[in-house]
Amino acid sequence: MGIVGLPGMEVEGVVFSATVKPPLSSSSSKKDLALCGAGVRGVEKEGVFVKFTCTALYMEEAAVYDLEPKWKGKSAEELLASLNFFMDIINCPFEKMSHVAMISTLDGKEFSGKVVEKCKAIMEGSGTFSPQQSPLALHKFMEAFKGKMLTYGSAIFFTYLEAGLSIAIAEDGSIPDKGDVMIEDKALAQALLDSIIGEHGVSPAAKRSVAERLSEVLSIA
């Protein structure tokens, strides 16, 4: 069984299908992507956990075979504790997509500003920040959310490609046929996925879900 054999998931009332076709962009492959895991994202405020989004990660079936030689037979806890495992997902040369479903309303400018701040720090820390290219890519990311209000029930789709990052925003939460913006900067695409499932990923629940589901798949790959 590969990841295409895993079931869909429901998180906080948001249904994530087992397989999806990501929004089409000039660099996408038109392949179906399979659900690797999903979880809620939020922050602790005065002792209360406030939920903002649910995030799901999808990727090509072929990525399993890329991960198998190194990670087959590892338990979910071993995978979850390994930064290298998640970095292998981030860096593998296969198409991936994050489906970010809004369960609270966020201002697009505020959302994109926080994402850009985190991505810039990751790129600077990894040595992939380019003084010439990166500010342009980060500005284009901010522009994609300019004037947007990310209301309850809406969704953002980030497709991670070898050529860079495709962004699509849907007010009704459905997956659009086409992406809205294509940012041809691979370092930004990798930093964005790193910000979600990397060492300081914003959704520990999504990371755990990915580790649990891929451990199951890799044990019988």
| pLDDT value at residue 8 | 95
For domain 3-219, is the CATH number 3.40.50.1400? no
* Bridge partners, 54 (sequence order): 40, 101
Q: For residue 198, count other CB atoms closer than 10 A to its CB.
A: 21
| pLDDT value at residue 27 | 65
Mean pLDDT of the chain: 92
| pLDDT value at residue 90 | 96
| pLDDT value at residue 5 | 82
Q: For residue 214, count other CB atoms closer than 10 A to its CB.
A: 26
- Rounded Cα distance between 47 and 144, Å, is 34
| pLDDT value at residue 43 | 73
Separation in Å, CA 70 to CA 58, 95, 96: 20, 20, 20
CA-based nearest residue to 191, from 130, 115, 131? 115
| pLDDT value at residue 217 | 92
- Rounded Cα distance between 112 and 138, Å, is 9
Tokens representing 141 are 């990311």
H or E stretch at 144: helix 134-144
| pLDDT value at residue 136 | 98
Tens-level pLDDT at each residue, the chain (221 residues): 578 788 999 999 999 999 999 998 766 667 899 999 999 988 766 777 778 899 999 999 999 889 999 999 999 999 999 999 999 999 999 999 999 999 999 999 999 999 999 999 999 999 999 999 999 999 999 999 999 999 999 999 999 999 999 999 999 999 999 999 999 999 999 999 999 999 888 889 999 999 999 999 998 75
- Rounded Cα distance between 6 and 148, Å, is 34
- Rounded Cα distance between 9 and 18, Å, is 7
